[in-house]
Amino acid sequence: MEQEIQRIRENFFQEIQQVQSAKDVEAVRVKYLGRKGPVQQLFKQLGTLNPEDRPRVGKLLNTLRQELETAVKEKQQQFKTREKRERIDLSLPGRKPPVGRKHPLTQTLDEIKAIFTAMGFTVADGPEVETDYYNFEALNIPKNHPSRNMQDTLYITEDILLRTHTSPVQIRTMQSQQPPVRIIAPGRVYRRDTPDASHSPFFHQVEGLCVDHGISFADLKAVISEFARKMFGTDIKVRFRPSFFPFTEPSLEYDFNCVFCRGKGCKVCKYTGWMEISGAGMVDPNVFKAVGYDPETITGYAFGMGVDRIAMLKFGIDDIRLFFENDMRFLTQF
Protein backbone atom coordinates (compact mmCIF):
# COMPACT_ATOMS: atom_id res chain seq x y z
CA MET A 1 0.00 0.00 0.00
CA GLU A 2 2.87 2.35 0.71
CA GLN A 3 4.19 1.73 -2.78
CA GLU A 4 0.74 2.43 -4.19
CA ILE A 5 0.67 5.81 -2.40
CA GLN A 6 4.04 6.75 -3.90
CA ARG A 7 2.91 5.70 -7.39
CA ILE A 8 -0.28 7.79 -7.15
CA ARG A 9 1.79 10.79 -6.02
CA GLU A 10 4.20 10.48 -8.95
CA ASN A 11 1.45 10.02 -11.54
CA PHE A 12 -0.56 12.91 -10.14
CA PHE A 13 2.32 15.36 -10.20
CA GLN A 14 3.26 14.33 -13.71
CA GLU A 15 -0.28 15.07 -14.90
CA ILE A 16 -0.84 18.29 -12.96
CA GLN A 17 2.43 19.58 -14.41
CA GLN A 18 0.98 19.36 -17.93
CA VAL A 19 -2.47 20.96 -17.51
CA GLN A 20 -3.32 23.74 -19.97
CA SER A 21 -6.50 25.18 -18.48
CA ALA A 22 -8.73 25.37 -15.41
CA LYS A 23 -10.80 22.63 -17.04
CA ASP A 24 -7.78 20.31 -17.17
CA VAL A 25 -7.10 20.99 -13.47
CA GLU A 26 -10.65 20.03 -12.61
CA ALA A 27 -10.34 16.80 -14.62
CA VAL A 28 -7.15 15.84 -12.79
CA ARG A 29 -8.78 16.69 -9.46
CA VAL A 30 -11.78 14.48 -10.16
CA LYS A 31 -9.54 11.70 -11.46
CA TYR A 32 -7.36 11.55 -8.32
CA LEU A 33 -9.41 13.05 -5.51
CA GLY A 34 -12.93 12.25 -6.68
CA ARG A 35 -15.13 9.71 -4.93
CA LYS A 36 -14.09 6.95 -7.32
CA GLY A 37 -10.46 8.13 -7.48
CA PRO A 38 -7.48 6.12 -6.15
CA VAL A 39 -7.09 8.18 -2.96
CA GLN A 40 -10.64 7.45 -1.82
CA GLN A 41 -10.18 3.81 -2.81
CA LEU A 42 -7.15 3.52 -0.55
CA PHE A 43 -9.00 5.18 2.34
CA LYS A 44 -11.68 2.49 1.95
CA GLN A 45 -9.05 -0.20 2.02
CA LEU A 46 -7.57 1.10 5.31
CA GLY A 47 -9.97 -1.10 7.24
CA THR A 48 -8.49 -4.22 5.71
CA LEU A 49 -5.02 -3.52 7.16
CA ASN A 50 -3.58 -4.86 10.38
CA PRO A 51 -4.61 -2.62 13.29
CA GLU A 52 -0.96 -1.84 14.07
CA ASP A 53 -0.28 -0.65 10.46
CA ARG A 54 -3.47 1.42 10.20
CA PRO A 55 -2.34 4.67 11.94
CA ARG A 56 0.93 4.88 10.00
CA VAL A 57 -0.59 4.23 6.57
CA GLY A 58 -3.57 6.44 7.45
CA LYS A 59 -1.17 9.26 8.18
CA LEU A 60 0.62 8.69 4.86
CA LEU A 61 -2.72 8.75 3.03
CA ASN A 62 -3.78 11.97 4.74
CA THR A 63 -0.50 13.60 3.77
CA LEU A 64 -0.97 12.46 0.18
CA ARG A 65 -4.51 13.87 0.05
CA GLN A 66 -3.30 17.19 1.47
CA GLU A 67 -0.41 17.44 -0.99
CA LEU A 68 -2.71 16.76 -3.92
CA GLU A 69 -5.35 19.24 -2.74
CA THR A 70 -2.75 21.96 -2.25
CA ALA A 71 -1.31 21.36 -5.72
CA VAL A 72 -4.79 21.49 -7.27
CA LYS A 73 -5.60 24.75 -5.46
CA GLU A 74 -2.37 26.37 -6.60
CA LYS A 75 -3.02 25.46 -10.23
CA GLN A 76 -6.62 26.69 -10.04
CA GLN A 77 -5.38 30.00 -8.66
CA GLN A 78 -2.86 30.36 -11.48
CA PHE A 79 -5.51 29.97 -14.17
CA LYS A 80 -7.96 32.24 -12.37
CA THR A 81 -5.56 35.19 -12.30
CA ARG A 82 -4.45 34.56 -15.87
CA GLU A 83 -8.06 34.55 -17.11
CA LYS A 84 -8.84 37.68 -15.15
CA ARG A 85 -5.95 39.43 -16.82
CA GLU A 86 -7.10 38.39 -20.28
CA ARG A 87 -10.70 39.48 -19.80
CA ILE A 88 -11.52 43.01 -21.09
CA ASP A 89 -12.32 45.31 -18.23
CA LEU A 90 -15.39 47.25 -19.35
CA SER A 91 -15.19 49.53 -16.33
CA LEU A 92 -11.98 51.12 -17.63
CA PRO A 93 -12.39 54.62 -19.12
CA GLY A 94 -12.22 54.57 -22.95
CA ARG A 95 -9.40 56.01 -25.02
CA LYS A 96 -10.08 59.63 -25.85
CA PRO A 97 -10.14 60.30 -29.61
CA PRO A 98 -7.76 63.19 -30.37
CA VAL A 99 -9.69 66.44 -30.65
CA GLY A 100 -8.92 68.51 -33.73
CA ARG A 101 -8.28 72.22 -33.73
CA LYS A 102 -8.32 75.09 -36.18
CA HIS A 103 -5.30 75.62 -38.38
CA PRO A 104 -3.34 78.73 -37.27
CA LEU A 105 -4.26 80.41 -40.57
CA THR A 106 -7.95 79.74 -39.97
CA GLN A 107 -7.64 81.11 -36.44
CA THR A 108 -6.00 84.25 -37.82
CA LEU A 109 -8.59 84.63 -40.56
CA ASP A 110 -11.42 84.21 -38.02
CA GLU A 111 -9.91 87.05 -36.01
CA ILE A 112 -9.51 89.29 -39.08
CA LYS A 113 -13.12 88.62 -40.10
CA ALA A 114 -14.39 89.38 -36.59
CA ILE A 115 -12.57 92.74 -36.52
CA PHE A 116 -13.89 93.85 -39.92
CA THR A 117 -17.44 92.57 -39.48
CA ALA A 118 -17.56 94.55 -36.22
CA MET A 119 -16.78 97.65 -38.34
CA GLY A 120 -19.68 96.90 -40.71
CA PHE A 121 -17.95 94.87 -43.43
CA THR A 122 -19.53 91.73 -44.85
CA VAL A 123 -17.54 88.76 -46.14
CA ALA A 124 -17.52 88.22 -49.92
CA ASP A 125 -16.15 85.36 -51.95
CA GLY A 126 -14.80 84.75 -55.47
CA PRO A 127 -13.31 81.93 -57.55
CA GLU A 128 -9.64 80.96 -57.32
CA VAL A 129 -9.61 80.05 -61.01
CA GLU A 130 -10.14 83.41 -62.68
CA THR A 131 -10.21 84.92 -66.10
CA ASP A 132 -7.66 87.38 -67.35
CA TYR A 133 -10.45 89.95 -67.41
CA TYR A 134 -11.21 89.86 -63.66
CA ASN A 135 -7.63 89.37 -62.49
CA PHE A 136 -6.07 92.07 -64.72
CA GLU A 137 -8.17 93.76 -67.39
CA ALA A 138 -11.03 95.14 -65.27
CA LEU A 139 -8.51 96.19 -62.63
CA ASN A 140 -6.96 98.65 -65.09
CA ILE A 141 -4.09 96.32 -65.92
CA PRO A 142 -4.38 96.07 -69.74
CA LYS A 143 -2.61 93.40 -71.79
CA ASN A 144 1.06 94.22 -72.35
CA HIS A 145 0.95 96.65 -69.48
CA PRO A 146 4.30 96.44 -67.66
CA SER A 147 2.56 96.04 -64.31
CA ARG A 148 1.62 92.47 -65.30
CA ASN A 149 5.26 91.66 -64.75
CA MET A 150 4.80 92.53 -61.11
CA GLN A 151 3.07 89.20 -60.55
CA ASP A 152 4.29 85.92 -61.87
CA THR A 153 1.07 84.27 -62.93
CA LEU A 154 0.14 80.59 -63.17
CA TYR A 155 -1.83 80.38 -66.42
CA ILE A 156 -4.21 77.54 -67.26
CA THR A 157 -4.91 78.83 -70.75
CA GLU A 158 -4.04 82.18 -72.25
CA ASP A 159 -7.25 83.53 -70.79
CA ILE A 160 -7.78 81.46 -67.63
CA LEU A 161 -5.44 81.62 -64.67
CA LEU A 162 -5.07 81.09 -60.95
CA ARG A 163 -5.82 84.45 -59.37
CA THR A 164 -2.71 86.29 -58.25
CA HIS A 165 -4.58 88.45 -55.73
CA THR A 166 -8.04 88.77 -54.21
CA SER A 167 -8.66 92.05 -56.05
CA PRO A 168 -10.85 90.38 -58.75
CA VAL A 169 -13.48 89.98 -56.00
CA GLN A 170 -13.70 93.81 -56.01
CA ILE A 171 -14.91 93.65 -59.62
CA ARG A 172 -17.30 90.73 -59.08
CA THR A 173 -18.85 92.40 -56.04
CA MET A 174 -19.33 95.80 -57.69
CA GLN A 175 -20.81 94.14 -60.79
CA SER A 176 -23.41 92.41 -58.66
CA GLN A 177 -24.53 95.31 -56.48
CA GLN A 178 -24.86 99.10 -56.30
CA PRO A 179 -23.08 101.29 -53.72
CA PRO A 180 -22.75 101.32 -50.77
CA VAL A 181 -20.28 98.43 -50.82
CA ARG A 182 -18.34 97.45 -47.74
CA ILE A 183 -16.77 94.00 -48.04
CA ILE A 184 -13.73 91.97 -47.18
CA ALA A 185 -12.82 89.04 -49.43
CA PRO A 186 -10.52 86.45 -47.88
CA GLY A 187 -9.05 83.63 -49.93
CA ARG A 188 -6.20 81.76 -51.47
CA VAL A 189 -4.03 83.32 -54.19
CA TYR A 190 -1.30 81.87 -56.40
CA ARG A 191 2.01 83.07 -57.77
CA ARG A 192 4.91 81.39 -59.50
CA ASP A 193 7.27 81.74 -56.57
CA THR A 194 9.91 79.25 -55.53
CA PRO A 195 9.15 78.27 -51.94
CA ASP A 196 11.43 79.62 -49.23
CA ALA A 197 10.97 80.90 -45.68
CA SER A 198 8.92 83.88 -46.86
CA HIS A 199 7.51 82.67 -50.21
CA SER A 200 4.96 80.02 -51.11
CA PRO A 201 3.39 79.44 -54.55
CA PHE A 202 0.05 79.90 -52.84
CA PHE A 203 -0.83 82.07 -49.88
CA HIS A 204 -3.78 83.97 -48.48
CA GLN A 205 -5.00 87.52 -48.80
CA VAL A 206 -7.89 89.50 -47.47
CA GLU A 207 -9.17 92.14 -49.86
CA GLY A 208 -11.02 95.14 -48.46
CA LEU A 209 -13.34 97.41 -50.44
CA CYS A 210 -15.48 100.29 -49.30
CA VAL A 211 -17.40 102.33 -51.89
CA ASP A 212 -20.03 104.99 -51.35
CA HIS A 213 -20.66 108.72 -51.71
CA GLY A 214 -17.97 110.74 -49.97
CA ILE A 215 -15.55 107.99 -48.94
CA SER A 216 -12.09 109.49 -48.40
CA PHE A 217 -8.50 108.62 -47.68
CA ALA A 218 -9.20 109.45 -44.01
CA ASP A 219 -11.68 106.55 -43.85
CA LEU A 220 -9.05 104.18 -45.22
CA LYS A 221 -6.46 105.32 -42.68
CA ALA A 222 -8.93 105.01 -39.82
CA VAL A 223 -10.03 101.49 -40.76
CA ILE A 224 -6.47 100.19 -41.26
CA SER A 225 -5.31 101.79 -38.00
CA GLU A 226 -8.25 100.34 -36.08
CA PHE A 227 -7.47 96.92 -37.52
CA ALA A 228 -3.80 97.18 -36.41
CA ARG A 229 -4.81 98.12 -32.85
CA LYS A 230 -7.44 95.38 -32.56
CA MET A 231 -5.17 92.72 -34.04
CA PHE A 232 -1.86 93.52 -32.36
CA GLY A 233 -2.54 95.99 -29.53
CA THR A 234 -3.32 99.66 -28.99
CA ASP A 235 0.36 100.68 -28.96
CA ILE A 236 0.91 99.54 -32.56
CA LYS A 237 1.24 102.47 -34.98
CA VAL A 238 0.60 102.41 -38.72
CA ARG A 239 2.75 104.06 -41.39
CA PHE A 240 1.51 104.87 -44.91
CA ARG A 241 3.98 105.22 -47.80
CA PRO A 242 3.21 106.36 -51.37
CA SER A 243 3.19 103.52 -53.88
CA PHE A 244 1.62 102.42 -57.14
CA PHE A 245 -1.09 99.95 -58.11
CA PRO A 246 -2.94 100.25 -61.45
CA PHE A 247 -6.33 99.83 -59.77
CA THR A 248 -5.91 102.50 -57.09
CA GLU A 249 -5.09 106.19 -57.41
CA PRO A 250 -3.46 107.43 -55.28
CA SER A 251 -1.88 104.20 -54.01
CA LEU A 252 0.00 103.45 -50.84
CA GLU A 253 1.70 100.70 -48.94
CA TYR A 254 1.19 100.43 -45.23
CA ASP A 255 3.42 99.14 -42.43
CA PHE A 256 2.68 98.23 -38.81
CA ASN A 257 5.08 98.69 -35.91
CA CYS A 258 7.08 95.50 -35.52
CA VAL A 259 5.00 93.35 -33.17
CA PHE A 260 8.11 91.86 -31.54
CA CYS A 261 9.91 95.05 -30.48
CA ARG A 262 6.78 97.26 -30.65
CA GLY A 263 8.65 99.75 -32.85
CA LYS A 264 11.96 99.97 -30.99
CA GLY A 265 13.91 98.01 -33.62
CA CYS A 266 15.06 94.40 -33.45
CA LYS A 267 16.55 91.61 -35.58
CA VAL A 268 13.12 90.59 -37.00
CA CYS A 269 12.36 94.06 -38.39
CA LYS A 270 16.01 94.62 -39.31
CA TYR A 271 16.13 97.45 -36.72
CA THR A 272 13.62 99.61 -38.60
CA GLY A 273 10.77 99.15 -36.09
CA TRP A 274 8.35 98.54 -39.00
CA MET A 275 6.86 95.56 -40.79
CA GLU A 276 5.38 95.79 -44.31
CA ILE A 277 1.79 94.55 -44.44
CA SER A 278 0.35 95.28 -47.91
CA GLY A 279 -0.99 97.83 -50.38
CA ALA A 280 -4.06 100.03 -50.51
CA GLY A 281 -5.42 103.16 -52.14
CA MET A 282 -8.43 105.00 -53.51
CA VAL A 283 -10.28 103.00 -56.18
CA ASP A 284 -9.11 104.14 -59.62
CA PRO A 285 -11.85 105.82 -61.75
CA ASN A 286 -11.11 103.31 -64.54
CA VAL A 287 -12.13 100.46 -62.22
CA PHE A 288 -15.44 102.20 -61.51
CA LYS A 289 -15.95 102.61 -65.25
CA ALA A 290 -15.32 98.88 -65.80
CA VAL A 291 -18.12 97.93 -63.40
CA GLY A 292 -20.51 100.70 -64.52
CA TYR A 293 -20.23 102.95 -61.46
CA ASP A 294 -20.09 106.72 -62.00
CA PRO A 295 -16.60 107.89 -60.95
CA GLU A 296 -17.90 111.48 -60.73
CA THR A 297 -20.24 110.75 -57.84
CA ILE A 298 -18.77 107.62 -56.22
CA THR A 299 -15.49 107.21 -54.36
CA GLY A 300 -13.99 104.35 -52.43
CA TYR A 301 -10.91 102.74 -51.04
CA ALA A 302 -9.45 99.25 -51.37
CA PHE A 303 -6.76 97.45 -49.45
CA GLY A 304 -4.99 94.12 -49.47
CA MET A 305 -3.63 92.14 -46.58
CA GLY A 306 -1.45 89.03 -46.32
CA VAL A 307 -3.06 86.53 -43.95
CA ASP A 308 -0.02 84.25 -43.76
CA ARG A 309 2.20 87.19 -42.89
CA ILE A 310 -0.16 88.38 -40.17
CA ALA A 311 -0.37 84.82 -38.75
CA MET A 312 3.43 84.62 -38.73
CA LEU A 313 3.59 87.88 -36.77
CA LYS A 314 0.78 86.83 -34.44
CA PHE A 315 2.30 83.46 -33.54
CA GLY A 316 5.99 84.27 -34.02
CA ILE A 317 6.47 81.83 -36.91
CA ASP A 318 9.55 82.40 -39.07
CA ASP A 319 8.84 80.10 -42.05
CA ILE A 320 5.67 80.29 -44.19
CA ARG A 321 6.16 76.71 -45.45
CA LEU A 322 5.31 75.34 -42.00
CA PHE A 323 1.66 76.30 -42.60
CA PHE A 324 1.34 73.92 -45.54
CA GLU A 325 3.29 70.82 -44.52
CA ASN A 326 0.57 69.26 -42.31
CA ASP A 327 3.15 68.41 -39.67
CA MET A 328 1.18 67.62 -36.50
CA ARG A 329 4.16 68.55 -34.31
CA PHE A 330 3.79 72.09 -35.66
CA LEU A 331 0.01 72.30 -35.93
CA THR A 332 -0.78 71.05 -32.42
CA GLN A 333 1.16 73.98 -30.93
CA PHE A 334 -1.59 76.47 -31.76
CA distance 284 to 302: 10
CA distance 249 to 281: 6
CA-based R_g, the chain, Å? 43
CA distance 105 to 116: 17
User: Residue 300, interface with ligand PHE (CB under 6 A)?
Assistant: no
Q: Which residue, judged by CB position, is nearest to ligand PHE in the bound state?
A: 304
User: Residue 281, interface with ligand PHE (CB under 6 A)?
Assistant: yes
Which residues, 167 to 186, sit near ligand PHE by CB under 6 A?
167
User: Residue 279, interface with ligand PHE (CB under 6 A)?
Assistant: yes
User: Residue 227, interface with ligand PHE (CB under 6 A)?
Assistant: no
Give the number of residues written for the chain.
334
What track of x and - describes contact with ligand PHE for positions 230 through 259 (by CB under 6 A)? Answer: ---------------x--x-----------
250 within 8 A of 287, measured Cβ to Cβ: no
CB of 258 to ligand PHE, least distance (A): 21
CB closer to ligand PHE out of 72 and 252: 252
User: Residue 136, interface with ligand PHE (CB under 6 A)?
Assistant: no
For 326, phi then psi, to 5°, come to 55, 35
Enumerate the β-bridge partners of residue 293: none
CA distance readout (Å), 55 to 4, 49, 125, 238 = 17, 10, 104, 110
Q: What is the dihedral of CA 129, 134, 137, 140, to 10 degrees?
A: -130
User: Residue 304, interface with ligand PHE (CB under 6 A)?
Assistant: yes
Looking at 81-89, 110-118, 272-280, 313-321, which segment touches ligand PHE (CB under 6 A)?
A: 272-280
User: Residue 280, interface with ligand PHE (CB under 6 A)?
Assistant: yes
User: Residue 299, interface with ligand PHE (CB under 6 A)?
Assistant: no
Name the nearest CA neighbour of 237 among 282, 278, 274. Answer: 274
CB of 264 to ligand PHE, least distance (A): 28
CA distance 25 to 29: 6
Looking at 5-13, 108-116, 301-309, 311-319, which segment touches ligand PHE (CB under 6 A)?
A: 301-309
CB of 332 to ligand PHE, least distance (A): 31
CB closer to ligand PHE out of 236 and 253: 253
CB closer to ligand PHE out of 12 and 136: 136
CA distance 312 to 304: 17
CA distance 23 to 209: 82
User: Residue 302, interface with ligand PHE (CB under 6 A)?
Assistant: yes
Return residues touching ligand PHE (CB under 6 A): 165, 167, 245, 248, 278-281, 302-304
